Amino acid sequence: MTIKYFKGEPSAYVIRYKNGQVDSGGEGLTFWYLPFNTSIATVPIVSQDARFIFKESTQNYQEIAIQGQFTFRLSNPMEVAKVLDFTIDPKTAKYRSDDPEKLTQRVINTIQSNIRSGVNGLSLEDALVKTKELESEVLALLNNEVDLQDIGVIVEGLHITSVKATTEMQKALEADYRESLKRRADQAIYQRRNAALEEENKLSQREMDNDVNLEERRKDLVDMQARNNLALAEAEAKADELKLSPYGDLPPQALVGLALKEWAGNAGDIGQLNISPDMLSQLVGWVGGEQR
């Protein structure tokens, strides 16, 4: 009869089965055992990372490839060991079955089911950009999954690292994005030209307003000069009228005499004066009181 020694790791919950029944269990458990009637199972209790990649369809029936990773741990090793086989070969410390891998795949299947529900309600464009919102929603749903809770699986983190459309659709989206960039560039050019045109129109309007104001000022100046000239002419006419009004009551003989007197007083300034006999005779008659 050979007695062997087993030393468990602190990262695993060790379960000792004796004659098919649980004999003991604990984290990093160490013990002596008889190989013929003892089985040993080790359930990881530290956080584990796993990757996933699968394809799903969006609301508008477009296929996308979703890639990411998640972190999970087992909070109830005894319950997991009841459902899945975690027994190991003590010599090699390798699992005797592929059940531990099935556990990871079970979590992946649950993640895919919840991601599918989220993606099916999104358009292709939204599915490509709303990864953060999808991560938060799916993570909350995972920790409420009864199947995972029953075996003590806690998903600590979920990260969607890539969401890609098919190659053909990716090219179409890239072409559409390039066209949108060109349209935005054209719109920016149009806006700059429109802004420049508006500035030119404003400048032209200001120049026109200045010309109108100048013409109005010129018109006011011309009107003022005309009024001033008219007022001056009226004043001069009034002055002449006032000067001549005393002569209005004099007889013609007196006016002629005054005129002759004025001529006599300015004789030195008169170069030549011709008086015909008829004019002289008529003047003598007016001065003498006879009118011929």
Q: Does the pTM exceed 0.85?
A: no
Q: How far apart are CA 279 and CA 283, in angstroms?
A: 6
Q: How far apart are CA 216 and CA 210, in angstroms?
A: 10
In sequence order, the β-bridge partners of residue 190 are none
Whose structure tokens read 């592929």? 98
pLDDT tens figures, 138-196:
999 998 999 899 889 999 999 999 999 988 887 777 777 677 777 887 888 888 888 88
**What is residue 274's three-state secondary structure?**
coil
Among 142, 71, 148, residue whose Cα is nearest residue 111: 142
* pLDDT: which is higher, 204 or 254: 204
C-beta separation of 75 from 152 below 8 A: yes
Chain-centroid distance of CA 185 in Å reads 14
Q: What is the pLDDT of residue 106?
A: 93
Whose structure tokens read 């909350």? 140
C-beta separation of 15 from 40 below 8 A: yes
* Residue 128, phi-psi category: left (phi > 0), alpha (psi -120 to 50), beta (remainder): alpha
Whose structure tokens read 């990757």? 51
Least confident of 35-44, 119-128, 232-241: 232-241
Q: What is the pLDDT of residue 209?
A: 86
Q: How far apart are CA 237 and CA 232, in angstroms?
A: 9
Please report, rounded to a whole number, the percentage of residues in the chain having pLDDT higher than 70.
83
Residue type, 243: K
Q: What is the dihedral of CA 269, 275, 279, 281, to 10 degrees?
A: 100
Among 289, 205, 292, 208, residue whose Cα is nearest residue 251: 289
Q: Residue 266's pLDDT band (boundaries 50, 70, 90)?
A: low
Q: How far apart are CA 195 and CA 191, in angstroms?
A: 6
Q: What is the CA radius of gyration of the chain?
A: 60
Q: What is the pLDDT of residue 292?
A: 45
